Structure 1
């Protein structure tokens, strides 16, 4: 049994075959998933999917690329939705210095506001980090994000920062890049992260794992991620799938 902790099956790339995608996931052993809503359009769709499917949960938050678009009413809306019985996390939130749509200072402000929100509602946070590790860690420390903890989503950074994230009560989630032939950092991370602090995800439709790299990703492919981690850790696939699923249940406070 697998738990894909980060999917975007709520976006338009899945409009033509969403039910088939969910069925393929089930056939691959993916029993649970968290659908992430990250703006005004995707949040309602995440909730709709979670309400229709007993094994699907939702996260609600505001993506850093679109930080410049967030208004106070959006933050209030997210806080209201946090009480929904199928909402298990706030996010994804974070910093993205690759794209230049939102100024860095605006991104930081929106990140801090969402951490405050998560602490008020008592939910873990999902962190998006692209080319911003130093600032991410600094803000998480300053805001005492360890109080709620959460996920370093699709961790694709150096193994050097793993312990700092673990010390702040965060789980490390690995996705497709751990299977890429030329990706050394995720492989090293997979080897050193304790099994009880590890999660798996697809971030679909992005970052499809080998041998599907370059194609649309989907939740069924999280099995390829778990298999690669098992190979790197020199343990069984069952150990990885059981541990990561149990970790997700624990983090999201889901009764299996």
Structure 2
């Protein structure tokens, strides 16, 4: 009975941890931090940043204004993932009459901790995009993310995705989700180039949220059976005298 109570307490603790995912500032991840969603470990974070003259003297990227939250509610498909929430106008641009922009490139590695659940595709979605603009027939504003997936850093041999929300001369483009499929992998590298821009001084583009998921293979029934047998054998070895060493 005591062992059953301990098991239930441990199980409850696991669910409590999974259900209370805390956001981690991107600044922490860029300084050697990592985050885990399901059995997927996201590590080796890097970035490059560029911005035009937006009327802010020496505008500098502040990664503490982007929170990264683990998504554990996707099952096997769409799978675990990450949500990026942007605050303080970090990815917001008001036009300067020529072409104002911010350009952020992020890279990270995704490693599988459970070898039976390899990554077989991933998806990307624009979740929060605001583009207030003048309906004057002459506008150019929006946000665009180009994402590559490869077997090494900054490569695209596994897939390329593009999402965009924009307005050009009153013509709108909303391609807010995209995905890439590939053979199951135990490790992948993801790189995303995020561009937010605006031309007219009356127009503004603000990217406040984007998410991505990593679907995974489902363990074969035989694999599950072997794991169960191994676990049962371990329990018997610890509790049954016949399995104990003399």
TM-score (norm 2): 0.25
Q: State the TM-score, normalized to the length of structure 1.
A: 0.24
Structure with the bigger RCO (C-alpha within 8 Å, sep 6+) is 2
More strand by share: 2
Larger fraction in helix: 1
